[in-house]
Amino acid sequence: MKCLVVILLTLGLPFQQIVNGQSNREVTLPLTELIQMESKYGQEYEIYLSLPPEYHTSEDAFPVVYLLDGDLSFGLAYNTRILMAFGGEIPPMILVGISYSEDFKNIHGNRFRDFTPTKWPAQKIFEVTGTKDIDESGGADQFLDFLVNDIKQSITENYRVDTNSETLVGLSLSGLFVTHVVMKHPASFDNYLISSPSLWWYNGQLPTIENMEFKENQNPISIYTAIGSEEPFRAMVLNWVEFTNYFNKTNPEGIDFVSEVLYGETHVTTFNRALPRGLQVLFKNYRK
User: Can you give the pLDDT at residue 16?
Assistant: 46
Instruction: Taking residues 119-128, report their average pLDDT.
Output: 93
User: Can you give the pLDDT at residue 22?
Assistant: 63
Q: Does residue 3 fall inside a structural domain?
A: no
Domains: count for the chain? 1
Q: Does residue 151 fall inside a structural domain?
A: yes
Taking alpha carbons only, the member of 153, 140, 138, 136 closest to residue 68 is 140
Local confidence band at 5 (pLDDT 50, 70, 90 cut-offs): very low
User: Can you give the pLDDT at residue 95?
Assistant: 98
Q: Does residue 23 fall inside a structural domain?
A: no
Assess whether pLDDT exceeds 70 at residue 271: yes
Strands (E), 15-93: 32-38, 44-50, 62-67
Strands (E), the chain: 32-38, 44-50, 62-67, 94-100, 161-171, 191-195, 221-228, 255-262
What range does the domain containing 45 cover?
Answer: 30-282
User: Can you give the pLDDT at residue 12?
Assistant: 43
pLDDT in tens, 79-123: 999 999 999 999 999 999 999 987 677 899 999 999 999 999 999
Q: Does residue 9 fall inside a structural domain?
A: no
Would residue 103 be called left, alpha or beta, if left means φ above 0 and alpha means ψ between -120 and 50 degrees?
left
Secondary structure (H, E, C), 231-251: CCHHHHHHHHHHHHHHHHHHC
pLDDT in tens, 129-170: 999 989 999 999 999 999 999 999 999 999 999 999 999 999
pLDDT in tens, 9-66: 333 444 444 455 566 788 888 889 999 999 999 999 999 999 999 999 999 999 999 9
Q: In what order do the strands lie in the sheet with 44-50?
A: 32-38, 44-50, 94-100, 62-67, 161-171, 191-195, 221-228, 255-262
DSSP H or E segment with residue 229: none
User: Can you give the pLDDT at residue 219?
Assistant: 72
Q: Does residue 22 fall inside a structural domain?
A: no
Local confidence band at 212 (pLDDT 50, 70, 90 cut-offs): low
Local confidence band at 207 (pLDDT 50, 70, 90 cut-offs): confident
Q: Does residue 158 fall inside a structural domain?
A: yes
Residues with Cβ within 8 Å of 103's Cβ and at least 6 positions away in sequence, in order, are 71
Taking alpha carbons only, the member of 28, 6, 10, 27 closest to residue 19 is 10
User: Can you give the pLDDT at residue 254?
Assistant: 85
Assess whether pLDDT exceeds 90 at residue 214: no
Q: Does residue 150 fall inside a structural domain?
A: yes
User: Can you give the pLDDT at residue 30?
Assistant: 87
User: Can you give the pLDDT at residue 252?
Assistant: 84
CATH number at residue 201: 3.40.50.1820
Q: Does residue 24 fall inside a structural domain?
A: no
pLDDT in tens, 159-205: 999 999 999 999 999 999 999 999 999 889 999 999 999 999 998 88
| Residue type for position 227 | I
User: Can you give the pLDDT at residue 210?
Assistant: 65
d(CA 164, CA 207): 26
Q: Is the dihedral of CA 158, 160, 163, 167 positive or negative?
A: negative
d(CA 43, CA 48): 16
